[in-house]
Homo-oligomer: A and B are copies of this chain.
């Protein structure tokens, strides 16, 4: 930790800072410069709130050197975390594709879609039983009934299920059926939900909040891990920017940076970022080329009839085309060819 003092800080201001640092059990090191004095601090500064120091008279700035996340970091666990979910390895050498409709709509739709997606090469099935909707007047999902349908689709195909829990009220219900519990972007800082996800034992796919910094994203994962659940999957799904021709701006730079700093698997959801079907396939290719461990895409046999997110949902023909193109990109990122079930 480094404390930068004002050019005109009085000696008593400097002494006050050094005294407080010593009171905290740490060691201050005065470093005079040509125009200002800086005070380096050694010792275990992790529990120190920099704000305690930044508000003292004469202080311009307190610079924290260590990072606030721990369990998510490669400093703590240098090797990749590889999750095995119903036989599918995520975070290792395989590229994993999670596909399915935005929302569970009916038994027929879901089972048939799951079968078709499996034939086309999907490794996991997504589908929302509980849907977060911006408007209270929009379709909110089938709820418990949707979960039952997802269980049937898994029974019929063997595909593991990824589905969202919206609140602590329903997470236990979701955990009974889901192979992976999804925490949505709007809930990335719903700390009660994160803690419960950390207690449920199931793998958790955590979507980046639309305004989450890199640090906030990892700290949200840290909430889950600090409850003892180390099976966390990080998912980039687009951030909110001024740019207005796509729904969100997919931030693919985050993929190599997450892989560098964290040992957790990283997947990308191009569907919600794009908001438009015609941009989904190029972004999906780009995500894999950028080094993601997998994708989550919306696909539906008849997107124009989908009850939600229709415009950004791929038809099965487009999904087939996507899988074909991914197979060609995989070697460039030194991955295995896509796994087959």
Q: Identify the A interface with B (CB < 8 A).
A: 2, 4, 7, 29, 31-36, 38, 40, 42-47, 49, 51-52, 54-56, 61, 63, 65-66, 68-69, 75, 132-138, 166-170, 186-187, 189-193, 209-211, 213-216, 219, 222-223, 226, 239-246, 249-257, 260, 273-274, 277-279, 282-283, 285-291, 303-304, 309-311, 325-326, 328-329, 331-333
* Cross-chain contact B279 with A256 (CB below 8 angstroms): yes
A134 to B192, CA, bound (A): 12
With A65-B38, A213-B244, A214-B243 in contact, is A55–B303 under 8 Å at CB? yes
- Residues of chain B within 8 A of A273, CB atoms compared: 253
- Residues of chain B within 8 A of A34, CB atoms compared: 42-46
With A56-B304, A213-B242, A244-B214 in contact, is A31–B29 under 8 Å at CB? yes
* Cross-chain contact A38 with B2 (CB below 8 angstroms): yes
* Cross-chain contact A68 with B310 (CB below 8 angstroms): no
* Cross-chain contact B286 with A133 (CB below 8 angstroms): no
Given A31-B42, A246-B253, A325-B332, output 9 extra A-B contacts at Cβ < 8 Å.
A4-B65, A29-B40, A38-B65, A136-B223, A239-B242, A249-B249, A255-B282, A285-B290, A288-B289
The 5 closest A-B pairs by CB, nearest first: A167-B192, A211-B211, A328-B332, A289-B289, A186-B189
Please name the residue on chain B nearest to A211 by beta carbon. B211
CB distance from A136 to the nearest CB of B (A): 5
A36 to B51, CA, bound (A): 22
For A250, give its contact among B63, B253, B282, B288 (CB under 8 Å): B253
A44 to B309, CA, bound (A): 22
Copies in the complex: 4
For A191, give its contact among B166, B304, B332 (CB under 8 Å): B166
A61 to B135, CA, bound (A): 21
For A283, give its contact among B169, B216, B277, B290 (CB under 8 Å): B290
A197 to B55, CA, bound (A): 36
- Residues of chain B within 8 A of A33, CB atoms compared: 42-43, 45, 65-66
A211 to B208, CA, bound (A): 13
- Residues of chain B within 8 A of A260, CB atoms compared: 278
For A55, give its contact among B42, B61, B311 (CB under 8 Å): B311
* Cross-chain contact B214 with A193 (CB below 8 angstroms): no
* Cross-chain contact A219 with B29 (CB below 8 angstroms): no
A7 to B132, CA, bound (A): 31
Most chain B CB within 10 A, of A136, A250, A329, is at A136
- Residues of chain B within 8 A of A329, CB atoms compared: 289, 328-329, 332
- Residues of chain B within 8 A of A287, CB atoms compared: 286
- Residues of chain B within 8 A of A250, CB atoms compared: 251-253
A250 to B287, CA, bound (A): 12
- Residues of chain B within 8 A of A40, CB atoms compared: 2, 29, 31, 38, 40
With A29-B29, A38-B2, A136-B222 in contact, is A241–B244 under 8 Å at CB? no
With A286-B289, A289-B329 in contact, is A243–B239 under 8 Å at CB? yes
A234 to B210, CA, bound (A): 21
- Residues of chain B within 8 A of A7, CB atoms compared: 75
* Cross-chain contact A51 with B242 (CB below 8 angstroms): no
Most chain B CB within 10 A, of A65, A75, A260, A310, is at A65
